Amino acid sequence: MLSNERIKYTDKEIIEKGSKALIKELGYSGFLRFIRYSEGIGKENYLNLEGDIFKGMSIDEIYIGAKEYWQNKNLPPK
């Protein structure tokens, strides 16, 4: 099961870590495109989109899918 209870990040740290991860994965131009796109999505729209993406999936299934995705990318362990 996914748990971050040991790690407590401030909002500033979350934004910084998330931005770095997006830049690493998408590059700077992709990161800026993501920010421009996500600013246009209201919270309600995002929740509808999230509901469509993960419809019928348990948290464990989502976790397993994410884990498999990252393993397939052959990223070095942290």
> What confidence tens digit (pLDDT) does each residue in 19-31 have?
999 989 989 888 8
Domain tally, the chain: 2
Residue 49 lies in a domain: yes
35 in the same domain as 51? no
35 and 53 belong to one structural domain: no
Structure confidence at residue 1 as a pLDDT band (50, 70, 90): very low
pLDDT tens digits, residue range 36-77?
A: 887 766 556 666 777 777 888 888 888 888 888 777 776 555
* Structure-token pair, residue 77: 């362990």
Domain of 61 in residue numbering reads as 43-78
Q: Are residues 35 and 60 in the same domain?
A: no
With respect to residue 5, please indicate whether it lies within any of the assigned structural domains.
no
63 in Cβ contact with 1 (< 8 Å): yes
Do 34 and 62 lie in one domain? The reply is: no
Mean pLDDT over 8-36 rounds to 88
Q: What is the pLDDT of residue 20?
A: 92
Tell whether 1 is covered by a domain. no
What pLDDT score was predicted for residue 46?
Answer: 63
Say how far apart CA 74 and CA 1 lie, in whole Å: 22
CA nearest to 35, candidates 68, 26, 56: 26
